Amino acid sequence: MPPLLEVRNLRTEFRTGAGVVRAVNDVSYSVDPGETVAVVGESGSGKSVGALSILRLIPNPPGKVVGGEVIFAGRDLMKFSDAEMRHVRGGEIGMVFQEPMTSLNPVLSIGRQITEMIEQHRGGDRAAADKRALELLGLVGIADPQRRLKQYPHQLSGGMRQRVMIAIALACEPKLIIADEPTTALDVTIQAQILELMQRLTQQLGVALIVITHNLGIVARYAHRVNVMYAGRIVESGPAAAIYHTPHHPYTMALLKSVPRLDRPRQARLDPIEGQPPDLTRLDRGCPFRPRCRFAVEACAVSMPPLAPAGASGQLAACFRSSELSLEAGYAA
Amino acid sequence: MSLAAEARPVARADTKPLLEVRGLKMHFPITEGIIARRKIGDVKAVDGVNLTIGRGETLGLVGESGCGKTTMGRCILRLETPTEGAILYDGIDIATLDRRSLVALRRRIQVIFQDPYSSLNPRQKVGAILAEPMKVHGIEPDAKRREAKVRELLRTCGLNPNFADRYPHEMSGGQRQRVGIARALAVDPEFIVCDEAVSALDVSIQAQIINLLEDLREKFNLTYLFIAHDLSVVRHLCQRVAVMYLGHVVELASCDEVFDNPLHPYTRALLAAVPVPDPTVEADRSFQPLPGEVPSPINPPAGCVFHPRCPLAVESCRQVIPELRELRPGHWVACSQVT
């Protein structure tokens, strides 16, 4: 089965006063139909810009996708006209963003925002759209949907607004949903409700999901596969269990070690990643993680290691020393 | 300094808590009308909280948005004047203190805020930001020695002393938070309220700052009130934890007790909602997310405030407000249904 989405050598840059920021730097990955892929990384790692680039939502200027292909259901989205792209966004690809208050229109009722989406993409009459909107609100678990349809975003709580965003994303039966930090603004009990809902619906409806997050717990619970990003590049990629149990990139290892965990005995001391993430305007030819890496050797300064197969669990890692590192990690859980 | 010696009695060998909060209520009035403002209700942000913090202890205060944890911190700093109740700090009631004594007391109590971007003055250099509290409190009146102390503070907080000449915008989030910590330390406090002090930071930087807070606690014998919503960070850093829900403390116990043996149904639900970073553990773990949402603190539910979402609720929970009871030694729970 061919992948639903294939991103090949994607590059996105921003021209700023301080220089060119290489926000996404030669990123390639694929998403199969119905699969949940998580993109993890810290601020500035390029995870959001990467997703916005797929949807061609990068503001130009200052940003620009300067290279690469995004093959979605067999067609290159980078070659689409603006009109064709509008049809893809919200139609074949649904979107859920972090802050539901800013991504919903404050002066339109909830119902109108859902029916607008349906009419734009599906045409048809208002009555059919209204019926579908009611059905969608029920699907995302909003009680008393008839009354809620007439309400405005400010009358809903944060969790409820995010449910509405999910209803809008699902309105036109997309094949893929891109969710950018969908629960970061929510409290932990509401976050659990929303994530369980998204998992249930994507499974039930066979929708693929790209979820962008910095939360390693969410990735472990909900993702089939994981892309770990650092300084605009994917440094490790593979099945979730493999990434967590036998990480092959020093950054992934360090990231997993740096978080305090509820499921392990209390540690005497945390093991942070020393130093700061690099300045993206001043990247050299070498590996961007090199200055913070405990395993760096001279070769790391000369060129960027390619994303290559590492270990026996089917993952890829961009590190010259990945084969030596696997055992040192001591992650046999 | 003689002043410092006066302001800081030598640590006594008794078990008297450094801070004791008694029956604290903080209600914010809601008003209506432009000319004649009428009070139409109250936001009951904190509604009858009792707790103590021992000298050298770190107490975690956890809960979701709107539970009153930040308001608690602000009352202790007297950034808000409580509606009711007492806050005894080393025997002095902060809640009713006059302005002059309050300024003197703030030398002993400091705060680290969540957002290092909005809590540092963008027009001041880091050196000036750190020197200001010393000027206000008359510490190191000599400019040269003050400058030396600024450099010392920066070094203590893991920054290059040259950062004194930089502006906040020239620094990363983690570096700014180090400046925020250095500023709190500038007056040699004994008690620091950390209000979501690591929440805005990326995980790799968060671990650096957590370690720094631990080092400083040891080095300067500090007492922390650590307000946070991230349970794994609280477990790592604190000795005791108070769990808040809608203005009430629902569970209070040692860290190990709260995390290994949670008794209140809200604490249990909160812990279950946190996915752990291990796909194998998560694949086998099923849980029922807590239904519903936190009710409005303007019209909190009668009886136990948690009863509309509680899996254990019975009829009496709708009428009777449960008291905090000591169910195990040192383990306090406000629930009539658990034993």
Q: Which residues of B touch A333 (CB under 8 A)?
A: 278, 280
User: Which pairing describes strands A208-213 and A36-40: parallel, antiparallel, or unpaired?
Assistant: parallel
**Alpha carbons within 13 A on the beta-carbon side of A204:** 9
pLDDT at B167: 94
CA of B102 vs chain A CAs: smallest distance (Å): 34
Residues in chain B: 339
Q: Which residues of A touch B275 (CB under 8 A)?
A: 192, 195, 215, 217-218, 220-222
Among the partner-chain residues A188, A222, A272, the one whose CB lies closest to the CB of B64 is: A188
Residues in chain A: 333
Instruction: Give the span between the Cα atoms of B109 and B36, in whole angstroms.
Output: 38
B29 DSSP assignment: E
The number of helix segments (H) and strand segments (E) in chain A equals 13, 12
User: Which pairing describes strands B331-333 and B248-254: parallel, antiparallel, or unpaired?
Assistant: antiparallel
Quote the strand ranges of chain A, DSSP E.
Answer: 5-16, 19-31, 36-40, 63-72, 75-76, 93-96, 176-180, 208-213, 225-230, 233-239, 308-310, 315-317
User: Which pairing describes strands B19-32 and A315-317: parallel, antiparallel, or unpaired?
Assistant: unpaired
For residue A77 the two structure tokens come to 């989205």
Task: Decide if pLDDT at B32 tops 90.
Answer: no
Distance of alpha carbon A43 from the chain centroid: 13
Q: Please, which residues have CB within 8 angstroms of residue B130's CB and are 6 or more apart in sequence?
A: B150, B153, B154, B164, B179, B182, B183, B186
Task: Decide if pLDDT at B250 tops 80.
Answer: yes
User: Which pairing describes strands B191-195 and B58-62: parallel, antiparallel, or unpaired?
Assistant: unpaired
Judged by CB atoms closer than 8 Å, whether chains meet at B214 and A159 is answered as no
> How far apart, in Å, do the first and last CA atoms of chain A sit?
33
For residue B61 the two structure tokens come to 């205060």
Please check whether residue A302 touches B, CB under 8 A: no
pLDDT at B12: 42
For residue B337 the two structure tokens come to 């249904």
A111 DSSP assignment: H
Instruction: Give the span between the Cα atoms of A103 and A109, in whole angstroms.
Output: 13
User: How confident is the prediction along chain A (333 residues), in pLDDT tens digits per residue?
Assistant: 789 999 999 999 999 888 899 999 999 999 999 999 999 998 889 999 999 999 999 998 899 999 999 999 999 999 999 999 999 999 999 999 887 778 899 999 999 999 999 998 888 788 999 999 999 999 999 988 999 999 999 999 888 999 999 999 999 999 999 999 998 888 888 899 999 999 999 999 999 999 999 999 999 999 999 999 999 999 999 999 999 999 999 999 999 999 999 888 888 889 899 888 888 888 889 999 999 998 999 999 999 999 999 988 889 999 999 888 754 544 433
Instruction: Give the span between the Cα atoms of B162 and A74, in whole angstroms.
Output: 55
pLDDT at A331: 41
Instruction: Give the span between the Cα atoms of B251 and B335, in whole angstroms.
Output: 9
In A, minimum Cα distance to B200 occurs at A43
Asked if A247 contacts A236 with a C-beta cutoff of 8 angstroms, the reply is yes
Helix axes A126-139, A158-170, angle to 10 degrees: 130
Alpha-helical runs (H) found in A236-306 = 240-245, 250-258, 299-302
Question: What pLDDT digit, counting tens, does each position of A76-92 carry?
Answer: 999 999 999 999 999 99
Asked if B200 contacts A214 with a C-beta cutoff of 8 angstroms, the reply is no
pLDDT, averaged across chain B = 91
Q: Which amino acid is at A179?
A: A
Q: Chain A neighbours among B 47-66 (CB < 8 Å)?
A: 64-65
Q: Please, which residues have CB within 8 angstroms of residue B289's CB and are 6 or more apart in sequence?
A: A189, A192, A193, A196, B269, B273
Judged by CB atoms closer than 8 Å, whether chains meet at A256 and B277 is answered as yes
CA of B132 vs chain A CAs: smallest distance (Å): 28
**Which residue carries 């390619």 as its tokens?**
A306
Q: Chain A neighbours among B 268-327 (CB < 8 Å)?
A: 269-282, 285, 287, 289-291, 293-294
For residue A8 the two structure tokens come to 């090949």
Judged by CB atoms closer than 8 Å, whether chains meet at A220 and B175 is answered as no
Q: Which residues of B touch A218 (CB under 8 A)?
A: 275
User: Which pairing describes strands B325-328 and B109-112: parallel, antiparallel, or unpaired?
Assistant: unpaired
Task: Decide if pLDDT at B212 tops 60.
Answer: yes
Among the partner-chain residues B211, B269, B276, the one whose CB lies closest to the CB of A263 is: B276
Residue B176's closest CA among B167, B185, B187, B188?
A: B167
pLDDT at A326: 59
pLDDT at B238: 96
Task: Decide if pLDDT at B196 tops 80.
Answer: yes
B105 DSSP assignment: H
Q: Please, which residues have CB within 8 angstroms of residue A315's CB and are 6 or more apart in sequence?
A: A236, A237, A238, A239, A242, A243, A246, A248, A309
CA of A273 vs chain B CAs: smallest distance (Å): 5
Q: For B16-25, B113-122, B303-312, which range has the lowest pLDDT when averaged over its residues?
A: B113-122
Among the partner-chain residues B172, B203, B214, the one whose CB lies closest to the CB of A259 is: B203
Instruction: Give the span between the Cα atoms of B111 and B281, in whole angstroms.
Output: 38
For A230, A249, A251, B72, the CA distances from A234, given in Å and listed in that order, are 6, 11, 11, 43
Largest CA distance in chain A: 67
For residue B301 the two structure tokens come to 């539910």
Residue A22's closest CA among A57, A70, A67?
A: A67
Residue A10's closest CA among A62, A85, A63, A81?
A: A63
Rounded to two decimals, the ipTM of the complex is 0.86
Judged by CB atoms closer than 8 Å, whether chains meet at A42 and B202 is answered as yes
Q: Which residues of B touch A195 (CB under 8 A)?
A: 275
> How far apart, in Å, do the first and last CA atoms of chain B sit?
52
Judged by CB atoms closer than 8 Å, whether chains meet at A189 and B64 is answered as yes
Q: If you average pLDDT over residues B80-102, what whole number do you get?
A: 93
Q: Which residues of B touch A193 (CB under 8 A)?
A: 289-291
- B13 pLDDT band, cuts 50/70/90, is very low
Among the partner-chain residues B64, B172, B175, the one whose CB lies closest to the CB of A187 is: B64
For residue A3 the two structure tokens come to 């992948």
Q: Which amino acid is at B74?
A: R
In B, minimum Cα distance to A187 occurs at B64
Alpha-helical runs (H) found in chain B = 2-7, 69-76, 99-105, 126-136, 143-156, 173-185, 203-220, 231-237, 255-260, 265-272, 279-284
Task: Decide if pLDDT at B152 tops 70.
Answer: yes
Across the A/B interface, how many CB contacts are shorter than 8 Å?
A: 136
Asked if A7 contacts A51 with a C-beta cutoff of 8 angstroms, the reply is no
Which helix or strand (DSSP H or E) is residue A167 part of? Answer: helix A158-170
pLDDT at B5: 39
Asked if A311 contacts B256 with a C-beta cutoff of 8 angstroms, the reply is no
Best of A42, A47, A181, A189 to mutate (most B CBs within 10 Å, chain B): A189
